Amino acid sequence: MLLRVHNTLNKIIEVQETAQLMHISFTPAGRKILAVLGLSSPLVEDRRLQLPDEQRTAIQVSPFPPNLLPQHNIGRHLTRAVTLLKNIRNDSHSVCLVDAAKDGRSARFSVISVNQMGSIINAASVSDSNPPRAEQLAVALAL
């Protein structure tokens, strides 16, 4: 099956401008710049939600140390992993580990959520080139 899509130059310009406005709207500094310029991105504002307090306090995100590449500081990474796993084994029903990994040079990510014993809860593959969206999907799989 062959699918061809033809867009006019104006449509491509419009989509690119919208994407750039959305991208810059994700940070407070970006929103301030847009406000100074008299621009807005209602698409982003409409999608932003505040989590209820009970959900926000239930999510614990531990900070990651610098140099996260697996080939650097192997001993430190193993020690940290063992410590984290010891801490989460005490709470068997509310712990879920998530990850998103890019599939080579393609615009695809593999996302997964596992329990504290390493059993897969959910896994998916997503066509996207945006790492934050892939990470958000991994968290959504865990929820």
**Is residue 29 one of the residues assigned to a domain?**
yes
What pTM, to 2 d.p., does this model score?
Answer: 0.43
Q: Per-residue pLDDT tens for 87-123?
A: 777 666 667 788 888 887 788 888 888 877 778 888 8
Range of the domain at 114: 95-143
**Is residue 16 one of the residues assigned to a domain?**
yes
**Is residue 45 one of the residues assigned to a domain?**
yes
Q: Note the Cα 40 to chain centre separation in Å.
A: 23
Q: Per-residue pLDDT tens for 56-95?
A: 788 777 666 566 666 677 787 778 778 877 777 766 666 7
**Is residue 82 one of the residues assigned to a domain?**
no
Under 8 Å CB-to-CB from 111, ≥6 apart: which residues?
Answer: 98, 99, 100, 101, 123, 124, 125, 126, 134, 135, 137, 138, 141
**Is residue 80 one of the residues assigned to a domain?**
no
More confident residue, 64 or 17: 17
**Torsions phi, psi of 121, nearest 5?**
-90, -50
Under 8 Å CB-to-CB from 125, ≥6 apart: which residues?
Answer: 103, 108, 109, 110, 111
Average pLDDT, the chain: 75
**Is residue 134 one of the residues assigned to a domain?**
yes
Q: Per-residue pLDDT tens for 122-141?
A: 888 888 777 888 888 888 88
**Is residue 88 one of the residues assigned to a domain?**
no
- Count the domains in the chain: 2
**Is residue 75 one of the residues assigned to a domain?**
no
